[in-house]
A and B are shown apart, each in its own frame.
Chain A
Amino acid sequence: MAKKTIVDFLVELDSNSKLMDAYKKDPVGTAEKYGLSGEDLQLIKDQDWDEVAKRFDDTSKATRVISY
């Protein structure tokens, strides 16, 4: 079975309300049970969401109005 990553976890959290409910009650335990480990699990432990967002978001690609 392929190793579960933070990306898999975020996708699943965004579309599985049962997992989200469990995560809200016990973030680290739920992430561990899901299969996260190492650096990915540390991200959940640190709760540094700005860092997580920085890793995946690229707001410089946000679309703009050009009709002014």
Chain B
Amino acid sequence: MTLIQGQEHTPKGSLVVVGTGISVAGQMTIATKSHIENADIVYMGIMNKIGEHVVTNINPNSVSLDDLYQEGKSRAVTYAQMADRIVQSVVEGKKVCVAFYGHPGVFVTPSHEAIRRVRELGLDAQMLPGVSAEDCLIADLGIDPSRFGCQSYEATQFLFRDYRIDPHMTQIIWQIGLAGEATLSVLDANHSESGLAMLADILAEHYPEDHELIIYEAATLPLCEPKIQKVLLRELQFAKPTLISTLVVPSLGMPAYRQDRLAKLGLTEQQVINFRSPKVN
């Protein structure tokens, strides 16, 4: 608290949520580094001790949120407590930075929740983008999500809800190591077998059993290569994914042209093909 012209003045708190990337240091943006450096307090949700070390070196007043995780405790509770802790610091007038690994808005419930609540209080809150696991996947596997279109979803959510697969699109299925795990309270990947078997059955409705899939894990350390394991669809249920494994199901290829839509636009299939692949003399 400071004194301005005889009146007590409580500084207005603010929040910025940043992502440190998937690797330990090199994927942090210049803007992210600056926000970490200039914050009154930095909260960290980083699953890597070296990543925490990097953030703490930039701003010694950095505090891990890891104490809120406990075996048997629902992630829903943990994330609500994270958001509470973050919002409380902003309410106290602090300039708060929260650093999550990866992209802070991808698969991170408390970041969105904290921003929503801080804005509701009329205070400043913003999110900066970071390098996500999906970004690493695209680079490591050489998959352009725009090539065939892409469906991207979390395994358990997909199993529980009535979603539809379009096999012409690339499928990216996250967290297959927890497929079908409903309690949100386990911290290992030993519960995925029945969920994986169900996922394999659903995929088999759309793909041949010898369709080659990829189980992928981004590298977090610069010494390590990304883990890229190829499995056939019929082998999927026996795979041993980890908590950070992602399943990639390559496209069956582009769907046929919709002649009716082309005609409405005054086009023919041949014209579109010619425009797409012009001859160079």
Give chain B interface residues in 60-86, CB to chain A under 8 Å.
66, 69, 75-76, 79
Query: What is the bound-complex CA distance between A66 and B113, given in angstroms?
Result: 12
Q: How many residues of B contact A (CB 8 A)?
A: 41
Give chain B interface residues in 218-247, CB to chain A under 8 Å.
220-224, 242-244
Identify the 7 closest CB pairs spanning chains A and B, nearest first: A60-B187, A14-B26, A61-B47, A68-B157, A65-B154, A13-B222, A14-B222
Residues from chain A with Cβ under 8 Å of B48 in the complex = 56-58
Give chain B interface residues in 36-94, CB to chain A under 8 Å.
45, 47-50, 53-54, 66, 69, 75-76, 79
Q: Are A63 and B100 in contact (CB under 8 A)?
A: yes
11 contacts between A and B (CB under 8 A): A10-B24, A14-B221, A52-B221, A57-B48, A57-B220, A58-B49, A61-B47, A62-B243, A63-B45, A66-B79, A67-B157
Q: Are A66 and B221 in contact (CB under 8 A)?
A: no
Q: Are B109 and A63 in contact (CB under 8 A)?
A: yes
Residues from chain B with Cβ under 8 Å of A14 in the complex = 23-26, 221-222
Q: Are B109 and A67 in contact (CB under 8 A)?
A: yes
Query: What is the bound-complex CA distance between A59 and B102, given in angstroms?
Result: 13
Q: Are A52 and B244 in contact (CB under 8 A)?
A: no
> Knowing that A63-B102, A64-B175, A68-B156 are A-B contacts, what are 7 other residue pairs whose CB atoms are under 8 Å apart, sorted by A's residue number?
A10-B222, A15-B25, A56-B221, A63-B108, A65-B109, A65-B157, A68-B182
Residues from chain A with Cβ under 8 Å of B187 in the complex = 60
Residues from chain A with Cβ under 8 Å of B79 in the complex = 66
Residues from chain A with Cβ under 8 Å of B222 in the complex = 10, 13-14, 20
Query: What is the bound-complex CA distance between A58 and B48, given in angstroms?
Result: 6
Q: Are A66 and B175 in contact (CB under 8 A)?
A: no
Query: What is the bound-complex CA distance between A10 and B25, given in angstroms?
Result: 9
Q: Are B49 and A49 in contact (CB under 8 A)?
A: no
Query: What is the bound-complex CA distance between A53 and B98, given in angstroms?
Result: 24
Nearest CB of B to A21, in Å: 12
- Chain B positions within 8 Å of A, measured between CB atoms, are 23-26, 45, 47-50, 53-54, 66, 69, 75-76, 79, 100, 102, 107-109, 154, 156-157, 160-161, 174-175, 178, 182, 184, 187-188, 220-224, 242-244
- Is A11's CB within 8 Å of the partner chain B? yes
Q: Are B54 and A11 in contact (CB under 8 A)?
A: yes
Nearest CB of A to B134, in Å: 13
- Is A7's CB within 8 Å of the partner chain B? yes
Nearest CB of A to B239, in Å: 16
Query: What is the bound-complex CA distance between A12 and B97, given in angstroms?
Result: 24
Q: Are A52 and B223 in contact (CB under 8 A)?
A: yes
Query: What is the bound-complex CA distance between A65 and B173, given in angstroms?
Result: 12
Q: Are A66 and B25 in contact (CB under 8 A)?
A: no
| Cβ contact of A53, chosen from B76, B154, B221, cutoff 8 A | B221
Q: Are A66 and B66 in contact (CB under 8 A)?
A: no
| Cβ contact of B224, chosen from A20, A52, A64, cutoff 8 A | A52
> Per-residue CB proximity of A1-40 to B under 8 Å, as 1/0?
0000001001101110000100000000000000000000
Query: What is the bound-complex CA distance between A58 and B66, given in angstroms?
Result: 10
Query: What is the bound-complex CA distance between A20 and B221, given in angstroms?
Result: 12
Of B25, B75, B79, B157, most buried by chain A (CB within 10 Å of CB) is B25
Nearest CB of B to A37, in Å: 17
Query: What is the bound-complex CA distance between A57 and B242, given in angstroms?
Result: 12
